[in-house]
Each structure stands twice: as structure tokens, then as C-alpha cells.
Amino acid sequence: SLSSGECVRRLEGHSLGVTSLVLSSDGSRLYSGSWDETIREWSLSSGECVRCLEGHSATVTSLVLSSDGSRFYSGSEDKTIREWSVSSGECVRCLEGHSATVMSLVLSSDGSRLYSGSDDETICEWSLSSGECVRRLEGHSSMVTSLVLSSDGSRLYSGSDDDTIREWSLSSGECVRRLEGHFSGVTSLVWSSDGSRLIAGFGNCGLLLLDWLSGE
């Protein structure tokens, strides 16, 4: 409960640690990825696991749900991204192109593009009509741990274990800005509710609020 700060229910079923979570758009279902190589679908009305999805051959590291709620995507230590049908629970496609663990995923608002950050130090842009990696963004010198898009979809922001955050123009594919010196391994990125500040989590247990308009 956010009002009391108390844990009101514990969901149990995975045999190893939970690495990633995504909530359905209507708030009725929760999807969890795990070190046990599975994804579980939970009913939040009952607290029960209603489905266990198997297919990855290593840790499931990241999850993202399509805006229409019909598909979700999972990244894994097995170097692949899997596309799942929410209605059937079946894996409908496997995207291959990274040479190391897929660490992070983000979808474009129109659902036509998927971006994946990897331990191979690159970001892949995937066309979801063809299932192909159509562009690879290079510049980081360590794993890409986190990705977020700007509200208008024209910019991609990436956090990395190389202690930097990069801003990418998606029209040109170029890195247009790099912030460094404030971090110790960027582990997560999220926008503030008004979209004016980028909040970064980093490896020495800290959080940093960045005024992205000024880059400070």
C-alpha cells in the first residue's frame, strides 16, 4: 500500500530471483521475468500465477508491453528478444542480432520500432514489421543497461555501465549529447511526470535528477 508503505501481498512462484516487471495497461495483470528463465503472468485480483511462459534458455532480463496490450517482448541473457502473444501466451517470434545479454528494451509509441540495449555495448533498432535489426547505435564502451524515449519519440536516451548517459537523434542515428562525470555505472533511467527531468539511478546507491534542457 503506497499510503502505509506496507507489503499487502506476496506473489510467489519463481524458483530464482525476479529481474524485471511490466504491468498490463488495464492494471489487471503483472508479468515478471526471472533468473529461472521463465516469465510468469499474475492475476492481480487473485494474486495467483495464471500462466508460466517458457522459451528462453537463460535469465530473462527485461520486459516491455506494446501500447495496445496485444504483445510483449522479453530480453534475455541468451542474447535474444522474444515476442509473445498476450492472448495465447505463445512466442510468435525470436529476434536475434546481439552478441551478448540483452539488458534493456523500449518500444516506440506507435509500436513499429523496438530498441534494445546490450552487454555487447550497442543499441539495436528493430523493425517490428520485418523483425530485422535496421540500425545499430554504437558509442558506449560498456553494457547498455537502460533506455527511455523522449515524449515525441525523436530522441533515445541510454544509460551505461561506462558511467555515461547518451542522447541519440533517431532521425540521424547520431549521438548528439553525452553526460559523464556524475555517475558510477548508470543502472536505470526514468522521466519525471512532466517530462522535464531525467532521473538516473547509478551503481553507488545514488539517484540523480537531471534538468535535460540544460544538461545539468
How confident is the model over 129-153, as pLDDT tens digits? 999 999 999 999 999 999 999 989 9
Q: Which cell numbers in the block locate residue 172?
A: 540521424
Say whether pLDDT at 214 is over 50.
no
Separation of alpha carbons 73 and 85, rounded Å: 9
Output the pTM of the full model: 0.91
Separation of alpha carbons 202 and 208, rounded Å: 8
Please say whether the beta carbons of 160 and 182 come within 8 A.
no
- 206 confidence band (pLDDT: 50, 70, 90): low
**Max Cα-Cα span within the chain:** 47
The pLDDT, as a whole number, for residue 216 is: 45
Separation of alpha carbons 57 and 131, rounded Å: 20
Nearest to 158 by CA among 211, 197, 196, 198: 198
Please say whether the beta carbons of 38 and 46 come within 8 A.
no
The pLDDT, as a whole number, for residue 47 is: 93
How does the average pLDDT of the chain come out, rounded?
A: 91
In sequence order, the β-bridge partners of residue 132 are 127
pLDDT in tens, 16-28: 999 999 999 899 9
Half-sphere exposure of 124 (CA within 13 A, CB side): 26
